[in-house]
Structure 1
Amino acid sequence: MRYIELFSGIGGFRKAAELLSYDSNIDMHCTAFSEIDPFALKTYGNNYNLNGEARMGNIVEFTSEREKIQQMSNFDLLLGGFPCQAFSLLGKQLGLEDERGKILFSIHELLAQKNPEFVVLENVRNILKHNKGETLNKILNFFKEHEYKYVNYVVLDSQNFGLPQKRARVFFVCSKKELSINLTENNIIDNFMNINGHSLNMYENVLEILDKKVDDKYYLSEKIKHTILADGSKNFKSKSQIDLDVARTLTATMVKMHRACQDNYYSDDFILNNHSHKDTPKEILFKKPVRKLTPWEALKLQGFNKEFYDNAVEAGVSGHQLYRQAGNALSVNTGYALLHYLFVKCRIQDK
């Protein structure tokens, strides 16, 4: 099965497809990808065997030139996580009025000319409620107008697929054929739990992610600790907790070190002795060694392995950029679970 990966980032969908191809009898081959971030491209280029596939670059510019689309190889499946900042609860939620929100519809000509059999796209869960459901309706109608007979979506959370991170994302699934599959999270979870052998990295809880010893630079200084661990400020009240068994959703801006109500922080007592300070009074907690995630741990929480991290570092990608890339990435296990359900369990390509 030939596929392309749009808005690829560091290739969460591609890694999922590669592992699925390795684990099953489904031969998945990438023929093109698009990404504009130069640092993500470094990580991508040093981790995948780029052998002749089209490098589409800026998808808006690429799809504005019909000749470029015509020169592409045909493909069966379009994968991608289209820009989510326009719909995120952490952003201004301008949605389709935001240039980033309009990018999805830039693939119109690509769908019209190449007519892929299947489309699987990912975005933040908030897109379902954005603009009182109007945004969702526009997206669903967009694919129906391109003659996709099956257009559906499902919300999947990474913590249900062997990655201890609360990360709920919506996945849109479109097919040129009428499908009778029951696309629910429970069915996808049940199928995932019954897979006999796979190449994914799986963790029971965040303690299996955290390294026992890390560089001192990851520890909170005494000066910043009071801000990070505080329960908000005069105009912003929050419940700050550390040492959570399941990590909060990683964000692309975690390098800025948000308060502990948004980001993930861990004490040495938790990491070394499994003694949680989740509900410890702040005046005691201020005296404890507390640190943030390392870039490697952030990538682990998204399902990437040590070789992937080492290859990125070898390519000259900084820790700052690796945090950003991990926060933007598709969780490998979640992508794998969905693709396995669609193409191995339900065999939608054979219907």
Structure 2
Amino acid sequence: MMKKTLRHLELFAGIGGFRRAIDLYCKDNNLISECVGFSEIDKYATITYKSNYDTSNEVEIGDIKEFTSSIININSLPDFDLLSGGFPCQAFSMMGEQKGFEDKRGNLFYNIIDILLIKKPKYVLLENVRNIKTHDKGRTYKEIIRSLEVDAGYYVTSDVFNTSDFGLPQTRRRVFFFAVRKDLIDNPVNLDSEVVKDSTIHLNGSTSLKKYKNVLDNLLEKSVDEKYYLSERIKPTILSNGSKNFKSKSEINQLIARPLTATMVKMHRACQDNYYSDEFLNHPNPSKYLEKDIPKDEEAKHRIRKLTPLEALRLQGFDEDFCLNASKAGVSNHQLYKQAGNAVSVNTVYSILHYLFNKNLIKL
């Protein structure tokens, strides 16, 4: 029996979180994964991407705004079943100025619509920050739905998914949108994060995914290079609960990591980023260790380190080979941290795909 092929286009690809999930899902389910093209404007992310995927027969879109300015370019794309992408979140992020569609970066969303109007793939799977649902009193979210449904002709459903529910110990809540071309179904579908979570619990150990119960489950290394340890000078700042204008409880040694950020290389306080002590990592009973109420001045005497780039990538579902390939291609640790912070979580996308295929919401 001939294998079926899932042809897909990855926009705003970053390091290929959607692609990695699609590849792994197809491998596990006797399907062929065929990426017809990808867009990414960051040159270092592109190096990481091309060092891990064979892109030789694919359309390298590059700057999507420039590419979609020509209808000829869009028409030249091979046909595909699924369009995926984590469209730029800077315009909607709680950390940003929240200008939404007034921000030119937010307008890149409409370049997705440009492609949908011409290529008309069956399915669309998009990701963005959770705050997009409430931005501008909900108007941004409504405009996204309206554009997909009214302008492009799709039924759309969405929900907030937490990475920690899918075998990656990181609290990371993101909105996923799934859209189906209206001529393929009679009624809108429903994408519910709890239902997806319940439908994938039994998959433990039966997929190609890397899964971890917490950061101590073969995710964090017991021994790392000295360069990852905090200096005596920086430790008080990292452990500080804040300043006069900013107060927040700083805690290290989180079993479920805080959300990775693209700026983690800058080393924020321990209320924003992830730091771990040797005392915790090497303790015979880490859970018992966490019950201690260690004073900050005592904690500052411990050897404390930040995540390594490999550990950050693991928290997003990528493996050691992926990190090694990027490093060999000349990508710096600085860029790897940024790429991990910007990435879509592989396990979350895989779980959504598993649910959609099993419910026949995606058919090839």
Superposed, which structure 2 residues align to 1:101-120 within 5 Å?
A: 101-120=106-125
1:277-306 per-residue CA deviation (whole Å, 9 max, x = no partner) reads 884211111111111001010001001011
User: Are the equivalent residues in 2 in contact too, given 1:159–1:246 (CA < 8 A)?
Assistant: yes
In structure 1, the gaps of 5 or more residues are: none
2:272 corresponds to 1:259 = no
Give aligned-pair identity as a percent: 52
CA-atom RMSD in angstroms: 1.4
2:177 corresponds to 1:168 = no
Q: What is the aligned partner in structure 1 of residue 222 from structure 2?
A: 212
- Provide the C-alpha distance between the structure 2 equivalents of 1:81 and 1:149, rounded to a whole number of angstroms: 18
Kindly provide the amino acid, as one letter, of the partner of residue 321 in structure 1.
Q
Q: How many residues align?
A: 350
Q: Of the candidates 309, 330, 342, which is equivalent to residue 328 of structure 1?
A: 342
In structure 2, the gaps of 5 or more residues are: 1-5
2:140 corresponds to 1:145 = no
2:21 corresponds to 1:16 = yes
2:300 corresponds to 1:286 = yes
Q: What is the aligned partner in structure 1 of residue 128 from structure 2?
A: 123
Q: What is the aligned partner in structure 1 of residue 313 from structure 2?
A: 299
Q: What is the aligned partner in structure 2 of residue 84 from structure 1?
A: 89
Kindly provide the amino acid, as one letter, of the partner of residue 12 in structure 1.
G
How has the CA–CA distance of structure 1 residues 281 and 130 changed in structure 2, closer, same or farther, with 3 Å as cutoff? Answer: same
SS of the residue 1:349 aligns to: coil
How has the CA–CA distance of structure 1 residues 230 and 254 changed in structure 2, closer, same or farther, with 3 Å as cutoff? Answer: same
TM-score (norm 1): 0.97
User: Are the equivalent residues in 2 in contact too, given 1:7–1:80 (CA < 8 A)?
Assistant: yes
Superposed, which structure 2 residues align to 1:188-199 within 5 Å?
A: 188-195=196-203, 197-199=206-208
How has the CA–CA distance of structure 1 residues 40 and 235 changed in structure 2, closer, same or farther, with 3 Å as cutoff? Answer: same
TM-score (norm 2): 0.93
1:174-229 per-residue CA deviation (whole Å, 9 max, x = no partner) reads 10133564421111001111237210000010112110001111111111111111
User: Are the equivalent residues in 1 in contact too, given 2:159–2:176 (CA < 8 A)?
Assistant: yes
- Provide the C-alpha distance between the structure 1 equivalents of 2:85 and 2:228, rounded to a whole number of angstroms: 32
Q: What is the aligned partner in structure 1 of residue 138 from structure 2?
A: 133
- Provide the C-alpha distance between the structure 2 equivalents of 1:22 and 1:278, rounded to a whole number of angstroms: 45
Q: Of the candidates 192, 195, 210, which is equivalent to residue 184 of structure 1?
A: 192
User: Are the equivalent residues in 1 in contact too, given 2:168–2:212 (CA < 8 A)?
Assistant: yes
SS of the residue 1:207 aligns to: coil
- Provide the C-alpha distance between the structure 1 equivalents of 2:152 and 2:102, rounded to a whole number of angstroms: 25
How has the CA–CA distance of structure 1 residues 350 and 112 changed in structure 2, closer, same or farther, with 3 Å as cutoff? Answer: same
SS of the residue 2:95 aligns to: coil
1:55-83 per-residue CA deviation (whole Å, 9 max, x = no partner) reads 00000100001111111111111000000
User: Are the equivalent residues in 1 in contact too, given 2:157–2:190 (CA < 8 A)?
Assistant: no
Kindly provide the amino acid, as one letter, of the partner of residue 32 in structure 2.
D
1:149 offset after TM fit, Å? 4.0
User: Are the equivalent residues in 2 in contact too, given 1:46–1:312 (CA < 8 A)?
Assistant: yes
User: Are the equivalent residues in 2 in contact too, given 1:181–1:346 (CA < 8 A)?
Assistant: no
Superposed structure 1 runs of 4+ greater than 6 Å apart: none
Q: What is the aligned partner in structure 2 of residue 271 from structure 1?
A: 281
1:98 offset after TM fit, Å? 1.1
Q: What is the aligned partner in structure 1 of residue 3 from structure 2?
A: none
- The range that moved more, 45-54 or 144-153, is 144-153
Superposed, which structure 2 residues align to 1:305-344 within 5 Å?
A: 305-343=319-357
